[in-house]
Amino acid sequence: MTVSRALLKSRSGSAGLVLVGLLLLSALVSLVWTPYDPTLARPRDGWLLPFSGGHVLGTDRLGRDELSQLLAGARGTLLTALLAATIAAVVGLALALAAVLVPRWIGAAVVQLTDVLIAFPVLLIAMILTAVYGGSTWTVVTAVGVGAGVNLARVARAEAGRVLNTDYVLAAHAAGSGTWRTVRKHLLPNIAPTLVVQLSLVLSVAVLAEAALSFLGFGAPAPAVSWGRMLHEQQQYIAARPLLVIWPGLAVAASVLGFNLLGDGLREAADARLRIREAR
């Protein structure tokens, strides 16, 4: 049974696929078409209600089309999430493998470094990056990616330590399996389910962190469009125009949900595959 088929069979997996697919679709569509230019400000059309003046979801205070912003925001969100997850995966795996595979004293140093970095608040990294380089997608992605990466390293390290101490790995090692072979044949497949779950969490954490950082004023500025930025700008007016806050919030929630469900589905699929292989 292939992973994709298992994914489709699982309920959360298929729901996740649908949500992530929607996100992907919105992002792709926004590349070629949005109802209006999402950054075009026309204050005289400010705060139009839904379905008025040709604006399906209405406009914000500057007269920008809400739907166009939501579509364009999907692009920013997807980009942020994928870049942050890539950085996190590279940082996390490298640190975790370094901790368990290299000579003990280097490993211990790596573990300590990881712990120091974990203790360092992501927010502070973001604030400092923003202060030095100005707010941008890259500062958000770097801060979230590194922050999530060191956390991932810790989980992966614990998991790797556990796997390396299991009887069958010890037995394989005793039977002459080389380090690299052990990593490839036993370690990676065994920690993969945990890593996949963690990475799906990183994707969702990145989406949420982008929203939080933008909310605090450390996000990517104009002309970039993102849901976090929409929340940041619209939250002031939640009392007057709640829907303008609710839409981007729901969009964030749906994406996070999508990534999480997809992660769940992937884990179930991987679990199933593992079980089948072990059974053989």
Partner 1 sequence: MRRTTALRLAATAVLAGLAATACGTGSADDPANAGQTSQAAEPAAIDTGATVDVRLVLEPTSLDIASTAGAALDQILLDNIYQGLLTRDENNKIEPSLATSYDTSPDGLTYTFRLARNATFHDGTEVTAADAVWSLQQVTAKGSKNPDAAALASVKSVSASDDHTVVVTLKHRDTGFTWGLTGRAGVVFKKGTDFASLAGNENGTGPFKLSGWKRGSSITFVRNDAYRGKKAKVAKVVFHYIKDDNAANNAQQTGQTDIETAADATLLQPFSDKSKYTVLRGDTTDKFTLAFNNASGPTKDVRVRRAIRRAVDNAGLIKALGGAAKPVGGPVPATDPGYADLTAIDAYDPDSAEKLLEQAGYGSGLKLTVQIPNIYPAEIGDYLASELKQVGVQLTVRQVEFQTWLDTVYTKHDYQLSLVDHAEARDLDNFANPAYYFGYDNANVRKWYAAAQTAAGDAERDVLLKKAARQVAEDAAADWLFVNQTLTVVRSGVTGVPRNFTSNRYDLADLAVAKKK
Partner 2 sequence: MTLYVVRRAALLVVSLLAASVLIFLVLRLLPGDIAQTIGGIKATPAQVAAVRHDLGLDRPLAAQYADWIGGVVTGDFGRSVLDGTSVSGQLAEKFAVTGPLAVGAVVLALAFAVPLGIVAAVRRDSRLGGAVNALGQFGIALPTLWVGLLLVVVFAVQLRWLPAQGFPVDGWAERGQALRSLVLPWLALALSEGAVLLRFVRSAVLEVLHQDWLRTARAKGHTRTGALVRHGLRNAAVPVVSVLGLQIAALVAGAVVVEQVFVLPGVGQMLITDVGNRDLDKVQGEILLLTGAVLVIGFLVDLAHRLIDPRLRSAV
Residues that bind partner 2 (CB under 8 A): 11-12, 104, 108, 112-113, 115-116, 118-124, 127-128, 131-132, 151, 154-155, 158, 161, 165, 197, 204, 208-209, 211-212, 215-216, 231, 235, 238-239, 242, 245-246, 249, 252-257, 260-261, 264
- Is the distance from CB of 150 to CB of 95 less than 8 angstroms? yes
Letter string b/e over residues 42-53, b meaning 16 or more CB atoms within 10 A of that residue's CB:
eeebeebeeeee
When CB distances are held under 5 to 8 angstroms depending on the partner's kind, the choice from partner 1, partner 2, none that residue 154 binds is partner 2
Beta carbon nearer to partner 2, 53 or 217:
217
Does position 241 interact with partner 1 (CB under 8 A)? The reply is yes
Q: How far apart are CA 32 and CA 237, in angstroms?
A: 31
Minimum CB distance to partner 2 smaller for 51 or for 168: 168
Q: Are 7 and 17 in contact (CB under 8 A)?
A: yes
Query: Which of the listed partners (partner 2, partner 1, none) does 90 bind, with a CB threshold of 5 to 8 Å by partner kind?
Result: none
Asked whether position 232 contacts partner 1 by CB under 8 A, the answer is yes
**Least distance (Å) from partner 1 to the CB of residue 196?**
30
Name the nearest CA neighbour of 80 among 193, 197, 198, 229. 229
- Cα distance between residue 71 and residue 65, in whole Å: 10
Ranges within 38-57 binding partner 1 (CB under 8 A): 39-44, 46-47
Residue 243 CA to chain centroid, in angstroms?
25
DSSP string, 131-147: HHH-S-HHHHHHHHHHH
106 binds, among partner 1, partner 2, none (CB under 5 to 8 A by kind): none
Nearest alpha-carbon partner for 39 in 52, 30, 49:
30
Q: Pick from partner 1, partner 2, none: which does 124 bind, CB < 5 to 8 A by kind?
A: partner 2
The set of residues, in sequence order, having a beta carbon less than 8 Å from that of 119 and lying 6+ positions away, is none
User: Which of 43/178 has CB closer to partner 1?
Assistant: 43
Residues that bind partner 1 (CB under 8 A): 39-44, 46-47, 61-64, 130-131, 134-135, 217, 221-223, 229, 232-233, 235-243, 246
